[in-house]
Structures are given as structure tokens and as C-alpha cells.
Amino acid sequence: MRRLPLLAILLLLTVLAAGCNTSKPGEKTVSPLPTKVVGSLPKAQTVTVPAKFKNGDATAGKQVFLTAGCKGCHTLKDAGATGTVGPNLDQSQPPLSKVILRVTKGAGAMPSFTGQLTDKQIADVAAYVVSKTGGNANG
């Protein structure tokens, strides 16, 4: 009878010891370290602004910003806009390519303005936002 409890204790200790590991997950370094990477990294996308949206008139763009609903959602000091639905444009300083993308395609809560604004109005409002926020006019 004495053998059974001893055997059970020995079995229990064996099971527990099998699961023990002194290193924590993620802390163990595989040896040898890899010296060759197989595959390739994704290439950065080149940003292009269609020609029809380049060379917008920032002065005319301010009027578009004020009348197309932009000021209701965005903050832009020059326009006296204090909207909080969309990003604060003074802080985000978006590049021209991003402004064009957002105005033409929309994103999140922002709708697309394609069909509501002409290509010229889109170019103008984008030029205005970029010029007043210090965003990249070439990017």
C-alpha cells in the first residue's frame, strides 16, 4: 500500500518537472543567430498628385473651405474653423497628396467630395490647406 502514494507523488513530480522552464516566453535567444534574410521588404509607395490637382489657387481655396463644409469638421486657424470631428489641420500639416486623397476618396467620417466640388475647387482647397498648415506641397 505504501508504494501507491509514493508512486503517485513520483508521477506528479515528473509531470510538473516536464513543464518547467527557466526562461520566460520571448526571452530565449535561438542559437545560432540567422545571418541571411530570405525574401524582400515591401517598397515604399511613391506618392503622386494627378496634374489636374496641382497648382491650385490657395486664395480661392479659402472660400471653398469656408463654404463646402470643411470648417464644420476641421480646425484651421486661418479660416477661423474650430471643428473637432476631423483632424486639426494646423497640427497634422497634411501633404498635398493626402489632402487630395481625402477630399476625393473620403476616409473615416469624411465623405468624398468628388462630384460635389469641381477638380479646380478640389485643387484650390488642397492648395489652401497645405499653404496655411505648412504641409508638403510636393508630397
Burial of 90 per CB tally in 10 Å (0-12, 13-18, 19+): middle
pLDDT in tens, 96-109: 999 999 999 999 99
CA distance 139 to 15: 62
Q: What percent of the chain has pLDDT over 90?
A: 60
Residue with cell 492648395: 127
110: pLDDT confidence band, cut at 50, 70 and 90? Answer: very high
Ordered DSSP codes for 73-94: H-EEGGGTEE--SS-BHHHH--
Question: SS3 for 22-34, per residue?
Answer: CCCCCCCCCCCCC
C-alpha cell recorded at residue 73: 469638421
pLDDT in tens, 8-39: 777 767 766 665 555 556 666 667 776 776 78
The answer to whether residues 79 and 125 touch, using CB atoms and an 8 Å cutoff, is no
Range in 6-20, 54-68, 79-93 the model is least confident about? 6-20
Other Cβ atoms closer than 10 A to 37: 7
Assessment of whether the complete model's pTM goes beyond 0.75: no
**Mean pLDDT, the chain, as a whole number?**
85
Average pLDDT over residues 54-68: 96
Average pLDDT over residues 53-68: 96
pLDDT of residue 124: 97
CA distance 10 to 35: 44
